[in-house]
Amino acid sequence: MRIDIATLFPEMCEAVLSESIIGRARKSGAIEVHCHNIRDYTTDKHHRADDTPYGGGMGMVMKAEPIYRCWLAVCAELKKIPHSIYLSPKGEVLTQEKTVTLSKQENLFLLCGHYEGIDQRILDQIINEEISVGDYVLTGGELPALVLTDAVARMCSGVLPAAVCFEDESHFNGLLEYPQYTRPEYWNGEAVPDVLLSGHHLKITKWRETESLRITQEKRPDMYQAWLAGQNAQDD
């Protein structure tokens, strides 16, 4: 998979995406992530990527032309049109199910907004969908783009050691993950549950399933009810 991020702050994105699991995956060639500075595609000597909004109002609006030129350059390099996403609080809220769907794309183009937003004509002409990371507003789209990139990339082949690394986590199967423990066996007056020390794999699997259901019911009753509904639908 290749992900292209169009932003006013490529160094901010590179600082995060060059570290840890995603950084190692980029170095090994398991995934490609390219950060593009939208200002590089401006045509004036001041490299202005924004201007005042028509109709008046506070703040500035990102101009259409530099973004469009950046997108065209990526299309030319890919020799195809990528699936293009605008990170926006007005978009569909990102879920694990959505990241699974996006991980099946060959190419993603992520557009990071800033200031008061982006000229609507860009959204009308090149954007396939808008995605939000939550019902709140940030100063720019860089953090959401990093969240989406991390969530999607970790499911690509070669990024994690095996599919079970992400299939056995919260949200993937509609439930929250069971508790995890490591050494020492006793810490601060609390012991690791005996079943995890038993070496009995079937009992451990059953314990983890039970704990996953318990935690989901306690912390996310909405998810638990949705999971129950899905189980009942399968039984019918």
CATH number at residue 173: 1.10.1270.20
Q: Which domain holds residue 210?
A: 168-235
- The verdict on 188 and 135 lying in the same domain is no
Give the burial class of 130: count Cβ atoms within 10 A of its Cβ; 0-12 exposed, 13-18 middle, 19 or more buried. middle
141 domain residue, yes or no: yes
Question: Which of 97, 124, 153 is at the close of a domain?
Answer: 153
Beta strands 2-7; 129-132: pairing state:
unpaired
Q: Do 173 and 137 share a domain, yes or no?
A: no
Question: Angle 32-33-37 (CA atoms, 0-180°, nearest 5)?
Answer: 145
Total tally of structural domains belonging to the chain:
2
Residues 140 and 173 in one domain: no
The verdict on 139 and 209 lying in the same domain is: no
Strand order in the sheet with 32-37: 32-37, 2-7, 107-112, 83-93, 129-132
pLDDT (tens, 9 = 90+) of the chain, 236 residues, equals 999 999 999 999 999 999 999 999 999 999 999 999 999 999 999 999 999 999 998 899 999 999 999 999 999 999 999 999 999 999 999 999 999 999 999 999 999 999 889 999 999 999 999 999 999 999 999 999 999 999 999 999 888 765 554 455 556 678 999 999 999 999 999 999 999 999 999 999 999 999 999 999 999 999 999 999 988 888 76
